[in-house]
Amino acid sequence: MYTTIADTRSAIQSGKSACEITLHFIEKIKSHQHLNCFLEVFGDTALEQAKKVDAKIKDGTQGGLAGVVIGIKDNICYKNHKVSASSKILEGFESLFTATVLQRLIDEDAIIIGRLNCDEFAMGSSNENSAFGNVLNAADNSRVPGGSSGGSAVAVQAGLCVASLGSDTGGSIRQPASFTGTYGLKPTYGALSRYGLIAYASSFDQIGTFTNSIEDTQELFNIMNGPDEFDSTAIQTKIETKEPALSNQPRTFTVFNEYLNADGMDEECKLFLVDTLEKLKSAGHTIKYESFPYLKELVPLYYVLTTAEASSNLARFDGVHYGYRNQEAIGVEETYVKSRSIGFGKEVKRRIMAGTFVLSHGYYDAYYTKAQKVRRLVREKTNEILASSDVILMPTTPGVAFTFNSVSDPVQMYLQDIFTVHANISGNPAISLPLGRHSSGLPFGIQLMANHKEEEALLQTSKLVESIVNAD
């Protein structure tokens, strides 16, 4: 019930009110509290919004998302509502403004139901780093939902909202989408405004969506993308995409040999990928196998640059201006030290220290400058490959969702992002499609990556791949 935008429209047309739909989700969230995906339900304001939407429906002036209930990751700002990035350092803080992408959804009469748990400051691949406890995977409560947007993924997976917003810095939408059997889109860098997103690494961060269909992904992207005077990195033209439809047009898929044969790849996930390629080939599409020599450099490159940006971005959380302040501290310096030491979690402190190190005198050129040069090589190689290919097809994750506390080594946890960081480094749009099913019963995704600003091709090709894989 109400799993897609189309479902919601049908319900409205058949006489259901936006208030009834909103109450349905509020009650369902209550019965799924054990999943810990909602940090706060905006019950009162959601119902107020629903009443306004019902009045518009009565007048025939409603927007395109009338009655569609959406959840937001707890690092996306919503005026007069709390936002904490799942951290104690922002305890009690209420936003003074609304993120641009969120405002565009509200302008189309979407109803914002609540804020969703995540890894603290979007730093993590398992949602085990939240100051407010783990989010549980609805498919198996002993397993992680992925991260950092774990709450956003599970909210859609468990049917607690129609769609949700997350952020993707190195795979934080696509990886949890793979683990929860949802559609996760990371748009082209700059396609969606970052105004109102609490920054982790500014040159990597991108807001995106979790949905239950490619059609919903496309519709939400169309509404949210476009230039924004409040974000200088936003693309200055709107990217228009048509509703995904099946086409017989032959397409070219590139597969990287290094990705297909990567160490640690689950055998079933690999066989499913190979089988998908055979199906595409049998349907008349071209499969190109190429070498991408930078696979082993991607994760180290990503963590050098993102931690450097994080150490700068998170300097503002000092215990002085807003949020948590240690009451025992005496003087400015002690206030900084004690507030940040207690307010930030272990993983956030680890990344701040790593970033401060790579930016420090004597190490800047050895690490940060060198990483920027490698980033340019990755972009150039990716652009070169996509010049003669429609999309790059690859795994989303090395395997299915792992159990809690089973990955304790930080480096091993960072390697969970091995297939997703590529799109953030190069800035390309990428999507995880929930097409795989493991013998364990757990879902896993296939990832497609397209040229910059080619969300149209990405979504149309996604529809094609989905139809071919599901033809059996």
* Long-range contact pairs involving 401-406 (C-beta distance under 8 Å, separation at least 24): 401/137, 401/139, 401/140, 401/143, 401/144, 401/145, 401/146, 401/179, 401/180, 401/442, 402/126, 402/143, 402/144, 403/142, 403/143, 403/144, 404/126, 404/128, 404/134, 404/142, 404/143, 404/144, 405/128
Q: Which residues pair with 197 in a beta bridge?
A: 76
73 is catalytic: yes
State how far the alpha carbon of 190 is from the alpha carbons of 34, 71, 207, 452, 453, in Å: 36, 22, 9, 10, 9
CB 250 within 8 A of CB 283: no
CA gyration radius, the chain = 21
Q: Which of 86, 148, 149, 339 is catalytic?
A: 148
Cα atoms found within 13 Å of the Cα of residue 151, Cβ hemisphere only: 33
Could you tell me where the beta strands, DSSP code E, fall in 62-189?
Answer: 69-73, 111-116, 163-167, 183-186
Q: How many CA atoms lie within 13 A of 115 on its CB side?
A: 19
| 3-state SS assignment for residue 240 | coil
| Pair type for strands 183-186 and 163-167 | unpaired
CB contact at 8 A, 344 and 384: no
3-state secondary structure 251-275: CEEEEEHHHHCCCCCCHHHHHHHHH
Contact indicator for 105, 139 with CB cutoff of 8 Å: no
How much of the chain is in helix, strand and coil states, percent to nearest 5? 45, 15, 45
Greatest extent of the chain over all pairs of C-alpha atoms, in Å: 71
DSSP string over 51-70? HHHHHHHHHT---TTTT-EE
Torsion of the alpha carbons at 21, 97, 349 and 207, rounded to the nearest 10: 60
- Give the residue carrying structure tokens 């070219």: 252
Q: Which residue of the set 125, 149, 172, 389 is catalytic?
A: 172
CA angle 323, 117, 358 (to 5 degrees): 65
Task: Let me know if 172 is a catalytic residue.
Answer: yes
At 71, is the secondary structure helix, strand, or coil?
strand
Catalytic (active-site) positions = 73, 148, 172
